[in-house]
Amino acid sequence: MRALRNNPGFSAVAVFSLALGIGANTAIFSLIDAVMLKSLPVSHPEELVQVTMGSPLYFSNLIWEQIRDRQDVFSGIFAYGKWPFNLAHGGEVRFVNGQYVSGQYFDTLGVRATLGRTLSKIHTQSRRRFL
């Protein structure tokens, strides 16, 4: 303690280095904990399975509806895709990243809306006949 008191420059550098190291370790652990260690915030994450079709450039809604109506393996099924959205009504373009999701997205994941309501599945008999 006397050596630190007698040399304030060294003391400041030592305290700053410790604070920087502790802060960096806390930030890195928080990121790893959120991404890798905690389970997904959905009900029964151990039961989720992702099925993909290679790397399709275009996956139409008609193909999705046929898969959805003919599958009998899974208890729930949904489709999603990443897409940039333009939030500007006019003028300068302002893109944000978002996702298109199908009607059963939230129900299948077991996620409830905090406010309002989630998407609902619209399925009519006439649509089913034409597939």
**Do 94 and 32 share a domain, yes or no?**
no
**Do 70 and 30 share a domain, yes or no?**
no
Cα separation, 44 vs 39, whole angstroms: 9
**Do 29 and 49 share a domain, yes or no?**
no
Cα separation, 99 vs 102, whole angstroms: 10
Range of the domain at 112: 45-129
Query: What is the block-wise mean pLDDT of the chain (131 residues), using blocks of 10 residues?
Result: 83 93 94 79 78 67 84 85 82 85 84 82 44 34
**Do 63 and 7 share a domain, yes or no?**
no
What was the pLDDT predicted at 19? 96
Cα separation, 69 vs 48, whole angstroms: 19
**Do 63 and 107 share a domain, yes or no?**
yes
**Do 68 and 30 share a domain, yes or no?**
no
**Based on the structure, what is the number of domains in the chain?**
2
Contact, 109 vs 42, CB < 8 A?
Answer: yes
**Do 79 and 63 share a domain, yes or no?**
yes
- pTM for this entry: 0.52
What ranges make up the beta strands (E) of the chain? 80-86, 95-101
**Do 57 and 106 share a domain, yes or no?**
yes
**Do 83 and 118 share a domain, yes or no?**
yes
What would the two tokens of residue 7 be? 């040399």
**Do 58 and 90 share a domain, yes or no?**
yes
**Do 18 and 58 share a domain, yes or no?**
no
What would the two tokens of residue 34 be? 């959120």
